[in-house]
C-alpha cells in the first residue's frame, strides 16, 4: 500500500516537472539552453550518474567482497576529479552539443566523428539495458506485478518525459529524483546505524562498536574467519588487478558521454568546474554511506541466518526465497542453514543485488521505509536511463543526421528527428530489459573499459597536446577500442580461443584491462602523430581558445 502511494506520488512529480519545462528548440533539447545553475546541474549530474547499479547493486557488491569492493568506491568517485580538472571546463568552453562534436571538430574529420558516435552508442546501449532491468526488478518485488509489465511501465514514464522535455525536462526531473533517491538511501542507513551502533551517522557508525563493545569491523572479520571467507577488511584480488580496475573505472567515468554532456548545460566555464564539485559532493553522500550499509547488512545477515533452523527463518527470508533470489539447499539434512565459504558444504546462496532492498526488512524497519527504498531505486534507474537515452538520440539526430547525412536539415526537422530517435531508443532499451542477453551484466562493467580505451585519450590529447592530429587520434581510438573488445571477447565470451584467469595478461582482469587499452591508445596516438603532418593553424587556435575561460558564449551553432 505504502509502496503504491509513494511510487505514484513521485511519478506524478516527475511528469509534472517534464510538462512544465518541455523543450522548444534543439539547444534546449540537447543542452537545456545552457542556462542551468551549477548546483542544480550538480544535483542532476549526481542523479544521472547514480544508476540502479549504484543504488541497488553497489552496497550489496561491497557487502560480499569487502575490501575488494573499494575499486567501485574509489573508481566511481575519483573519475570526477579527472572530469573537473581535465575535461569539463575545456569542453564547456568549446561549446558544442555532444562529445562526437568535439572529436569531429578538433580532429577535423568526419571519420573521427563517426568512430566517436559508434563508441557513444555501444557504451550507452549496454548501460541503458541494465537500467530497464532494474526498474523491472523493483516493480516485481514491491508492487507484485510481472517483471515485464514493470519494464513497460518504466518505458512509458521515461518516454514521456525524455521525449517531451529533452535535456531541459530531464535536468529538472533529475533534481527531484536525486532528492528522492538520497532520502530513500539515507533513512534506512541512519536507522540501522542507530540500531547496531547507537551512532546516527553511518559513515562513523561502521567504525564504532556494537552493544557488546567489540568494534563492528573486527567482529565481521572474526565471523568471516570462522566461516572460512577471506577477512572482510582485506582483499582476495591481486594488488595489480585492484590498481588497474580502479583506474579503468575512474577514467571510464570521465569518458562516459552522458556524464560529460551534463557539463555543456551550464552558462560559463567556471560554472562547469563548480557543477563537477557539487556533483561529486552529492554523489559522495551516497558513496560514503554504501560501505557502511554493506557492513551492517553483512553482519545482520550472517547473524540472522547462520546456523539457524530453517523452519525458524524470518519472513523476509521466505519472501525473497519465492523470488528465487535466495536459495537454500539442506545438504547435510540437519534442518539448519550452514553458510560457509566451502562450496561443497555451503547451503545458502544469496543474490547480492537484494541486499539494499532487503536490508530494511532484515532490520525490521517500518513499511513506509521499505516503500521509500522502492521509490528511490526507481528514481535512480529512471534518471540514468533518461540521461542515456538523450545521449543516444543526440548521437543519431545531431551527430549522424545533422552533421553527416543531411546538413541542411532545419532546426524543426532536427528536433523531430531527435524525438523520434529517443522513441526508437526507448523501445530498443525496453526490449533488452525484457529479453536481457546474458552478456548485459558482464558488459556494464566493461562499458567503462570501452569508454576509457576510446574517448578519454582523444579528448585529453585534444586539449593538452596541441600537436595531436587526426591520424594519431583516429589510430589511437581504433586500436584502443579494438584491443579492449578483443580482450573482453576472449576472456568473457570465450572467443579467439578463450582463456581462464591464469591466462590473463599481467594478471589483469577484463574489468581492469581498459587501463591497459587506454595506455596503448595514448602511445599509439603520440607515435603516429609525430610521423604525420601537424594540424592546421585554425585547429591549433581552437586548442588555444578552449584553454582560456573567457568568451564562452551560448551554443555556437545556431
Partner 1 sequence: MTDKQKAKAYWKKNLKYLGILLSIWFLVSYVFGILLVEQLNTIKIGGFKLGFWFAQQGSIYVFVILIFVYIRLMNRLDKKFNLDS
Q: Which residues bind partner 1 (CB under 8 A)?
A: 62, 67, 69-70, 73-74, 77-78, 80-81, 84-86, 89, 203-204, 206-209, 215-218, 233-234, 239, 242-243, 246-247, 268-270, 273-274, 276-277, 280-281, 284, 287-288, 291, 544, 547-552
Q: Which is nearer to partner 1, 246 or 393 (CB)?
A: 246
Q: Which is nearer to partner 1, 129 or 292 (CB)?
A: 292
Vertex 463, ends 459 and 466: CA angle to 5°? Answer: 120
Cβ atoms of residues 253 and 259 within 8 Å: yes
Cβ atoms of residues 197 and 208 within 8 Å: yes
Q: Which is nearer to partner 1, 9 or 240 (CB)?
A: 240
Q: Which is nearer to partner 1, 280 or 392 (CB)?
A: 280
Q: Which is nearer to partner 1, 86 or 440 (CB)?
A: 86
Angle between helices 269-305 and 70-82 (to 10 degrees): 170
- Smallest gap from Cβ 554 to partner 1, in A, equals 12
Q: Which is nearer to partner 1, 200 or 207 (CB)?
A: 207
- Smallest gap from Cβ 401 to partner 1, in A, equals 32
- Smallest gap from Cβ 216 to partner 1, in A, equals 6
Contacts of 284 (CB under 8 A, 6+ apart): 77
- Smallest gap from Cβ 210 to partner 1, in A, equals 10
Cβ atoms of residues 281 and 80 within 8 Å: no
Q: Which is nearer to partner 1, 40 or 217 (CB)?
A: 217
Q: Which is nearer to partner 1, 21 or 265 (CB)?
A: 265
- Smallest gap from Cβ 133 to partner 1, in A, equals 27
- Smallest gap from Cβ 294 to partner 1, in A, equals 9
- Smallest gap from Cβ 220 to partner 1, in A, equals 10
Cβ atoms of residues 533 and 73 within 8 Å: no
Cα separation of the two ends of the chain = 50
Distance CA 373, CA 370 (A): 5
3-state helix, strand and coil shares in percent for the chain, rounded to the nearest 5: 75, 0, 20
Nearest Cα neighbor of 460 from 536, 522, 534, 540 is 522
**SS3 per-residue string spanning 387-433:** HHHHHHHHHHHHHHHHHHHCCCCCHHHHHHHHHHHHHHHHHHHHHHH
- Smallest gap from Cβ 269 to partner 1, in A, equals 6
Cβ atoms of residues 356 and 60 within 8 Å: yes
Cβ atoms of residues 373 and 137 within 8 Å: no
Amino acid at each position: 500500500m505504502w509502496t503504491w502511494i509513494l511510487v505514484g506520488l513521485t511519478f506524478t512529480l516527475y511528469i509534472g516537472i517534464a510538462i512544465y519545462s518541455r523543450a522548444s528548440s534543439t539547444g534546449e533539447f540537447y543542452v537545456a539552453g545552457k542556462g542551468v545553475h551549477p548546483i542544480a546541474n550538480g544535483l542532476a549530474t549526481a542523479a544521472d550518474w547514480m544508476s540502479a547499479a549504484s543504488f541497488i547493486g553497489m552496497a550489496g557488491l561491497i557487502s560480499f567482497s569487502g575490501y575488494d569492493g573499494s575499486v567501485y568506491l574509489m573508481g566511481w568517485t575519483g573519475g570526477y576529479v579527472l572530469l573537473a580538472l581535465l575535461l569539463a571546463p575545456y569542453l564547456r568552453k568549446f561549446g558544442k552539443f555532444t562529445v562526437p562534436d568535439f572529436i569531429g571538430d578538433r580532429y577535423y574529420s568526419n571519420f573521427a566523428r563517426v568512430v566517436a558516435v559508434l563508441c557513444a552508442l555501444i557504451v550507452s546501449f549496454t548501460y541503458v539495458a541494465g537500467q530497464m532491468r532494474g526498474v523491472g526488478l523493483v516493480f516485481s518485488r514491491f508492487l507484485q506485478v510481472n517483471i515485464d509489465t514493470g519494464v513497460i511501465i518504466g518505458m512509458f514514464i521515461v518516454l514521456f518525459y525524455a521525449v517531451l522535455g529533452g535535456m531541459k525536462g530531464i535536468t529538472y526531473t533529475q533534481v527531484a529524483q536525486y532528492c528522492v533517491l538520497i532520502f530513500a538511501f539515507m533513512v534506512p542507513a541512519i536507522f540501522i546505524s542507530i540500531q547496531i551502533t547507537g551512532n546516527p551517522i553511518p559513515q562513523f557508525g561502521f567504525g564504532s562498536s556494537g552493544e557488546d563493545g567489540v568494534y563492528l569491523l573486527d567482529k565481521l572479520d572474526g565471523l568471516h574467519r570462522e566461516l572460512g571467507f577471506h577477512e572482510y577488511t582485506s582483499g582476495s584480488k591481486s594488488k595489480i588487478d585492484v590498481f588497474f580496475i580502479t583506474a579503468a573505472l575512474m577514467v571510464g567515468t570521465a569518458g562516459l558521454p552522458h556524464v560529460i554532456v551534463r557539463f555543456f548545460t551550464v552558462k560559463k566555464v567556471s560554472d562547469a568546474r563548480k557543477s563537477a564539485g557539487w556533483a561529486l559532493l552529492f554523489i559522495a553522500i551516497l558513496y560514503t554511506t554504501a560501505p557502511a550499509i554493506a557492513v551492517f547488512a553483512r553482519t545482520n545477515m550472517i547473524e540472522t541466518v547462520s546456523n539457524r533452523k530453517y523452519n525458524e527463518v524470518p519472513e523476509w527470508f521466505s519472501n525473497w526465497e519465492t523470488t528465487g533470489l535466495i536459495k537454500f539447499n539442506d545438504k547435510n539434512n540437519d534442518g539448519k542453514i550452514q553458510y560457509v565459504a566451502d562450496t561443497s558444504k555451503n547451503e545458502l546462496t544469496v543474490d547480492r543485488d537484494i541486499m539494499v532492498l532487503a536490508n530494511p526488512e532484515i532490520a525490521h524497519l517500518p513499511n513506509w521505509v521499505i516503500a521509500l527504498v522502492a521509490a528511490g531505486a526507481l528514481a535512480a534507474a529512471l534518471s540514468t536511463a533518461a540521461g542515456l537515452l538523450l545521449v543516444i538520440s543526440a548521437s543519431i539526430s545531431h551527430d549522424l543526421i545533422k552533421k553527416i547525412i543531411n546538413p541542411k536539415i532545419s532546426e524543426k526537422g532536427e528536433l523531430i528527428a531527435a524525438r523520434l530517435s529517443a522513441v526508437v531508443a526507448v523501445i530498443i532499451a525496453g526490449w533488452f530489459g525484457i529479453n536481457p542477453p546474458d552478456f548485459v551484466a558482464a558488459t556494464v562493467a566493461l562499458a567503462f573499459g570501452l569508454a576509457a580505451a576510446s574517448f578519454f585519450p582523444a579528448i585529453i590529447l585534444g586539449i593538452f597536446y596541441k600537436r595531436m592530429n587526426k591520424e594519431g587520434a583516429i589510430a589511437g581510438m581504433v586500436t584502443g577500442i579494438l584491443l579492449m573488445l578483443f580482450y573482453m571477447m576472449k576472456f568473457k565470451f570465450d572467443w579467439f580461443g578463450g582463456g581462464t584467469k591464469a591466462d590473463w595478461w599481467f594478471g589483469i582482469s577484463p574489468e581492469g584491462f581498459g587501463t591497459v587499452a587506454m595506455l596503448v591508445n595514448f602511445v599509439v596516438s603520440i607515435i603516429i602523430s609525430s610521423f604525420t603532418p601537424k594540424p592546421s593553424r585554425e585547429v591549433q587556435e581552437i586548442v588555444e581558445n578552449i584553454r582560456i575561460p573567457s568568451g564562452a558564449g551560448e551554443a555556437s551553432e545556431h
